[in-house]
Structure 1
Amino acid sequence: MSPSSSASGIVADTTKGHHYLTIHGYYDTKGALTGEWISSLSFTVGGHRWRINYFPNGMRTEVADYVSLSLQLYKEVATAVKIKFEICFADEEEEAEQAVALESASVSAFTSRKCWEYDDFIRREDLENSKHLKNNSFTVRCDIVVIHTYRSADNAVAYVSVPPCNVCQNLGKLFETKMGTDVVFEVGGETIPAHRCVLAACSPVFAAELFGQMKEGNAAAAGVVRVEDLEMEVFKALLRFAYTGSLSLQGMENDHVTCQKLLVAADRYGMERLKLICEEWICECIDVDTVVTILALAERHHCEGPKKACFDFLADPAKLRGVMATGGFQNLWESCPSLMMELMDMCLPH
């Protein structure tokens, strides 16, 4: 009788993701003290919330001549999260090198509020003389691989390797190359071509405007649609989301303001998922200077999440006093009296 033979393997179940962080007005940020940091908006990879902390003048005295960065696990977790990660400049060559480095990177265990430090990311003098600093801004990319579990697997030979679905990537290329476009939008004096079928598939408003009753008698029949009350930057982000299902505000000035405008556009075109992504984003932007604007926006566009987040922020008496001293608070009294009654009811003792 011949001896039996078998084989198996151990594999890791992982989730990969990346986040771009753009530092606008770099020279203005140099006024920060050593050890003082500015945090990115939080982002999600592998079911966990993360953020990048930027130290314009280093995180401690020994690296005061450097730009420092750190990666932070932003939310509480019951057990340590195992990840691999790297941060580099957003550059085609460096991103390719980072992808290779990530494969052999060591695994780190992150607990709640723990930061992993890149204390000497780049010397400020080197940054200021580099190709990475353009128009007083630079962008970094953070790649994260979250390791969920390890499991055994069959070692059977794989004769065919099926790549992941790349439909969104292909549609994104279609949007960028403009191949086969059949409608043109005019926004603020500029034009941008698109594909009717793609837009109609993701928006009931686009569907009605380009194929339904709204088409009759308007410019859509002639292939040109005039868009009022939207900026081209916002409308282009809306279209890109329609093609790819993803949102990036990388490189945009005042990205939190752009995100609020994009929320309004998403509501206007009935793109619910995009609207919710914007809602999630602006919840991270609430502070004394922005809470009134965000609360009014949430009320006008029926955004329960941001509205509750604003109320939770204003439940702190010190923060409420700070907001009441602003001119925007008085404007909110005049424009949204019912909302202010809700707020006062929340603040008064019961």
Structure 2
Amino acid sequence: MVSKKKKTTASRHTTESEEGTHSFEIVGYSLQKGIGVDEFIESATFAVGGYDWCIRFYPHGKGDGAKDYISVYLELLTKNCAVRAAYDLRLVKHATGLPMSVYSETTHRMFNSDDSSKFAPHYATFMNRSHLEMEASGYIKDDRLTIECFLTVIVKESMASNTVKAHELINVPPSDLSENFGELLEKGEGSDVTFVVGGEKIAAHKIILAARSSVFKAELYGQMKEKRARRVTVEDMQPDVFRGLLHFIYTDSLPDMDVLSDDDYYEMIRLLLVAADRYAMDRMKLQCESILGEHLDVQTVATTLALADQHNCNGLKDVCIEFITNQNKMDDVVATEGYADLKRTCPSVLVDVFEKASKFRRI
């Protein structure tokens, strides 16, 4: 008779992180005006996860392409090191004392002290300076601006192997629902409808689309002709825009657009806003409005105002009108091609602009 011995073995990889928040208050904000492009001030050094960091603030932007913006960066100061970290750069609204996220990377990425990756984010256009300085934005009060950085740093990773009992291994991971649905969209497994967009075929799942969009629900399950169709043609939309719309429907987040230039990125946001309005994706539409409202400039504000008027984006419309009137930019805006298009396509909105400008001059 053979005697059998049984044992249970397991290994565990442990990752530990440290979180920290640094608040950088700039008193006398207006006195920083005029220091020029590429000039910056920086916060005191603060430590999170055993590494030194600071916040850089460029009042007139970093690079000529960002001269109408402020630039804000998180910088790794510790020399000869590489560390994984996630961050959230915020501006504090003084009326409430609450920070508002402007740019973040929630996935831990590598900061290397020996190259440009020691800075984050990659974009210099953190926020349009005119939008920042609007009284309605609430970011500047009593000539004070407060920048806040919430930072999570990976501090330790270890592997342990031993004989353990099963109940000691139970660990509940964070939700990966959005990742699962995103993978379902990407692979097209079990799809039951194909959209033809600009000559390209894109597979999807009727039940998911109907659950997220009342328009898709009416198209795919209502009395419309697409109810029984397995192939639906989508007119007047680019394939990449439709894919971006589906990405949000499946994952509740905008697609990764880091490879796009700034101009192409904001143009894609405009197109995604139109798609969101067309398919009644209200949260997606508001997210696009928020991005466009925080990155207005003289060259684009008229185009953005026309877009807001055409698609009933009242919040974005108000921000555009306030940008034009409160910053005394009317003459500059009138000289742009976007204004000519606005005058031709949405003449009624100009009444709101001029009424607001008239009130502003009387104050």
Is the structural similarity TM-score above 0.5?
A: yes
User: Normalization by structure 2: what TM-score?
Assistant: 0.57
**RMSD in angstroms over aligned alpha carbons?**
4.3
Aligned pairs (5 A) from 1:183-198? 183-198=193-208
Aligned to 1:166: 176
CA drift at 1:56: 6.9
CA deviation vs aligned residue, 1:234-286 (integer Å, no higher than 9, x gap)? 00010011111111333245010011011000010011111111111111221
2:303 partner letter? T
CA drift at 1:158: 7.4
Q: 1:250 aligns with which of 253, 258, 263?
A: 258
1:70 partner letter? Y
- Counterpart CA distance in 2 for 1:272 and 1:329 is 27
Q: 1:231 aligns with which of 227, 235, 238?
A: 238
- Counterpart CA distance in 2 for 1:120 and 1:192 is 43
1:231 partner letter? Q
Aligned to 2:191: 181
Aligned to 1:207: 217
- Counterpart CA distance in 2 for 1:196 and 1:15 is 43
- Counterpart CA distance in 1 for 2:310 and 2:93 is 35
1:282 partner letter? L
Secondary structure in structure 2 of the residue aligned to 1:348 = helix
- Counterpart CA distance in 2 for 1:189 and 1:240 is 19
Aligned to 1:240: 247
CA drift at 1:122: 3.6
Cα pair 1:70 1:119 within 8 Å, conserved: no
Aligned to 2:312: 302
Cα pair 1:295 1:306 within 8 Å, conserved: yes
Aligned to 1:267: 277
- Counterpart CA distance in 1 for 2:56 and 2:90 is 6
Cα pair 2:39 2:62 within 8 Å, conserved: yes
User: Normalization by structure 1: what TM-score?
Assistant: 0.59
Aligned to 2:73: 70
Give 5+ residue unaligned stretches, structure 1. Answer: 1-10, 17-32, 38-49, 58-67, 102-117, 124-137, 148-156
1:15 to 1:263, Cα distance in 2 relative to 1, 3 A = farther
Q: 1:292 aligns with which of 289, 302, 313?
A: 302
1:292 partner letter? A
Secondary structure in structure 1 of the residue aligned to 2:115 = strand
- Counterpart CA distance in 2 for 1:273 and 1:259 is 13
User: Would you say how many aligned residue pairs link Structure 1 and Structure 2?
Assistant: 246
- Counterpart CA distance in 2 for 1:300 and 1:204 is 20
1:189 to 1:36, Cα distance in 2 relative to 1, 3 A = farther
1:186 to 1:51, Cα distance in 2 relative to 1, 3 A = farther
Aligned pairs (5 A) from 1:131-142? none
1:76 partner letter? V
1:308 to 1:168, Cα distance in 2 relative to 1, 3 A = same
- Counterpart CA distance in 2 for 1:267 and 1:204 is 11
Secondary structure in structure 2 of the residue aligned to 1:222 = coil
CA drift at 1:145: 3.5
Aligned to 1:338: 348
CA drift at 1:70: 2.3
CA drift at 1:163: 1.5
Aligned to 1:121: 115
CA drift at 1:332: 2.1
Cα pair 2:17 2:152 within 8 Å, conserved: no
Aligned pairs (5 A) from 1:30-41? 35=38
- Counterpart CA distance in 2 for 1:171 and 1:227 is 22
CA drift at 1:144: 5.6
1:75 to 1:195, Cα distance in 2 relative to 1, 3 A = same
2:151 is aligned with 1:145: yes
CA drift at 1:222: 3.2
2:340 partner letter? Q
Give 5+ residue unaligned stretches, structure 2. Answer: 1-15, 22-35, 41-54, 65-70, 75-87, 124-148, 154-166
1:275 partner letter? K
1:199 partner letter? L
- Counterpart CA distance in 2 for 1:56 and 1:119 is 21
1:180 partner letter? G
